[in-house]
Structure 1
Amino acid sequence: MNMQRRLPFLETLAYLNPWRKSRLETYILQTCIQAFASALMIVSSLIFLIEYVSISKNLGAKADVSGLSVIGLMLEKSPGSILVLLPFAFLFGSLFAFVNLNRRSELIAMRAAGVSAWRFVTPAAILAFAFGLMTIGVFNPVASRLSDHYDKVVGQISHDADVKDMGAIYLRQGEGSQQIVIRAESQDKVIGHLKGVTFWVYDIDAKQVPVFRKRIDAQEATLRAGFWQLKNAREASVEGPAVPAYDVLTIPSNLDPQKAFKKYASTQAVPFWRLPGLINQNRISGFSTAMYELKLHQLLSTPLMFAAMTALGAVFSLRLMRLGGMTGLVISGISLGFVIFFVNQLFSSMGKAGVIPIFLAGWSPAVLAMLAAMTLIVYTEDG
């Protein structure tokens, strides 16, 4: 019965294998899958341990949290960190897989039979590329949702909403001939409910120059669909004396109540499918979209990065064991992986600062890693 239940699943996996009629590529795929899974388990275990200690230390001083609660929070926070370090899992997994093939002389037999390095590196790279696509469409949204829930739970445990830690809040809205700059001293636990709010209203003249028109101060302001609702508001314009206070005042708004405050969320808590909408909303609100555009391009380049790291791991494992020097090559491969990670962080910082274009900052590390891998394979194969 168990074999009958497993057969459809195994048949599905076999059908998804583009090399299902080739034993060599299928064997390499199986070996790489086992190695990738082992490397991923090691990386995940380290992250779980680090996050558990971090959460216990940070929350232990604020509230009485049980061990099970800490484990639950750890499981919600860790996936985001695991996704950041996934390229290393593919680098280490590829190194382990091909070094083992080399130690068992299987790689030697392949090379002696005239099999090109491209033939057994390509299946591993394509496998990593496919996993990168799954990371973008499935794993990233799941990790983002868990991260967002983690932030909310931690805010409730510490009895302090995340938005209160951000100090003053600034928004901008408007289109056509009018722009409104909004400043609030704080935001309530209910997103969109601001306290100590000031609205500066500007008219845009024929030369596209903003001209100050009036100021509105309110004790509270709530963003609803299509308008702001102000309480205890007082209006003052440049054309006349201050208007008596309003108990309730409404101001038209083109901001979306569900998205206007999403810019305060970290990029890690925003899933891939919501990034384009959030970027557009921030543009309407007049805020910088660099961080979210960079995150979008980095996610889109994820499959290429995974494939590049896998190819790099393979190319540093092709040297015959009897020639020696394998340990040095493995260390060189790991060192190159850390260099690529550093370059990725450097380009991210430069992109956020506006030193280089966002597109270049998001794609350059993955492209450079792939070019380095292809260059090393060509050098190894053709001298």
Structure 2
Amino acid sequence: MSSRTSLPVPWLRFGRIERYVLVQQARSLAIALGVIAALIMLIDFVEISRGVGSDVDLSGLQILSLMLLKSPQVIIQLLPFVFLFGTLAAFVGLNRRSELIAMRAAGVSAWRFVLPAAGAALLFGVITVTALGPAAAAADGLFQRERTRLSGAASGSEQPEAVWIREGDDSRQMVIRAAQQDRNNARLLGVTFFIYNNDGDGMRTFSERIDAAEASLSAGRWRLVDAVGAQIGQRAVRYATLDLPSSLADDEAFERFARPQSTSFWDLPAQIRRVSDAGFSTTAYRLRLQQLLATPLMFAAMSILAAAFSLRLMRLGDLARMSVAAVVLGFAFFFVNQAASAFGSAEVIPPWLAAWLPPLLTALAAFTLLFYTEDG
């Protein structure tokens, strides 16, 4: 008896059938990605031209460049549908050409071509999270800054925008308000420091207020110039210069916290620590991190779901009904994902549960249908 016939799990082999199915899936995924990307870029082009373009005179090339910065993040968010539609189209094509029937008639288990397709989706999900996602997040951050700059230039307002910063540790918190910032000289102008002390129970008590003409951050300390400080129940004290310890990096006083969607996967853990140290809620950032970690599972689950519906076509022969059912179920899980994200953002459920529940439900539904189709 040959060694090949003694393999305990023959559907784990990667032979000619698996390669052929993967090639068909890759072609369909490329077509689905092209269609969805073109639709998104068209919508973004119109939105930017009506939004930013209505405030400031932009050329077609400028609108196109802004669109190329914004669209990748939206495309990545819709990649689960690319795997749903692409895999569904690939297996429906195989079914229409009776290739799936021939494979099954030859005794080939459905697991032999479904699991490689899911594995490829899982691998692409890892690449998306670790490489494509960070690039799209950086582009989205650049788009947000460029849109803000163009909108500010279009408004022509000379009124500087107030800057708010919060930092601290377990023992002390500082809320900093500046009338304006001088980025060229790395200074905050017209600045006020509100200092709070934290007790052992986590309660904050106001301790001191310090007003200064300007403040600069360097080497882990705030240097205040022409400052006036007053503690509760004491007279005000004037300082020509005053140094206050700081936990911020030198450039963080002049940067806003990036949106979770504009933060790279690799930067999210450090960003979560920064936001937590500043005393703000980290729920949105923790939810975003967990959603990124669950992305490969979502891609694989969508691929298995689409393949399972395609296998049912071979037995039921109702192409339209089953295709519509797969699409409807995919959109249903998308809305479940949106609802779970809303509950997670509102802290109704933990962020990890909000992120992992939709892909787990999708995977369970896909495996249930596949087991029912393959094993009865």
TM-score, normalisation: structure 1: 0.87
Give the equivalent residue in structure 2 for 1:47: 40
Q: Is the 8 A contact 2:344 2:350 kept in 1?
A: yes
Structure 2: give runs of 5+ residues left out of the alignment.
Answer: 1-10
Given the alignment, which residue of 353, 364, 382 partners 2:375? 382
* Between 114-123 and 246-255, the greater mean CA deviation after superposition: 246-255
**In 1, Cα distance between equivalents of 2:185 and 2:141:** 14
**In 1, Cα distance between equivalents of 2:43 and 2:159:** 25
Query: SS of the residue aligned with 2:152?
Result: coil
Give the equivalent residue in structure 1 for 2:6: none
- Structure 1 residue 63 and structure 2 residue 56: aligned? yes
**For residue 234 of structure 2, what is the amino acid of its counterpart?**
G
Given the alignment, which residue of 87, 100, 108 partners 1:107? 100
* Between 227-236 and 62-71, the greater mean CA deviation after superposition: 227-236
Residues 204-228 of structure 1 deviation map (CA, whole Å, 9 limit, x = unaligned): 4566544432111234433333012
Residues 221-260 of structure 1 deviation map (CA, whole Å, 9 limit, x = unaligned): 333330123344321112421123x454331101223456
Give the equivalent residue in structure 2 for 1:251: 244
Query: SS of the residue aligned with 1:214?
Result: strand
- Structure 1 residue 26 and structure 2 residue 45: aligned? no
**In 2, Cα distance between equivalents of 1:261 and 1:283:** 18
TM-score, normalisation: structure 2: 0.88
Shift of 1:151: 2.0
- Structure 1 residue 217 and structure 2 residue 207: aligned? no
Query: SS of the residue aligned with 1:288?
Result: coil
With over 3 angstroms needed to count, the CA separation of the structure-2 counterparts of 1:261 and 1:331, relative to structure 1, is farther
Q: Is the 8 A contact 2:221 2:246 kept in 1?
A: yes
1:1-383 counterparts in 2 under 5 A?
22-160=15-153, 169-175=163-169, 177-185=171-179, 193-205=187-199, 209-244=203-238, 246-259=239-252, 264-320=257-313, 323-383=316-376
Aligned length, in residue pairs = 364
Q: Is the 8 A contact 1:267 1:291 kept in 2?
A: yes
With over 3 angstroms needed to count, the CA separation of the structure-2 counterparts of 1:263 and 1:124, relative to structure 1, is farther
Identity of aligned residues (%): 49
With over 3 angstroms needed to count, the CA separation of the structure-2 counterparts of 1:319 and 1:70, relative to structure 1, is same
**For residue 42 of structure 1, what is the amino acid of its counterpart?**
V
Residues 36-65 of structure 1 deviation map (CA, whole Å, 9 limit, x = unaligned): 111000110001100111111112222221
**In 1, Cα distance between equivalents of 2:196 and 2:313:** 72
Residues 318-369 of structure 1 deviation map (CA, whole Å, 9 limit, x = unaligned): 1345843211110110111111111111111111111111111111111111
**In 1, Cα distance between equivalents of 2:61 and 2:207:** 56
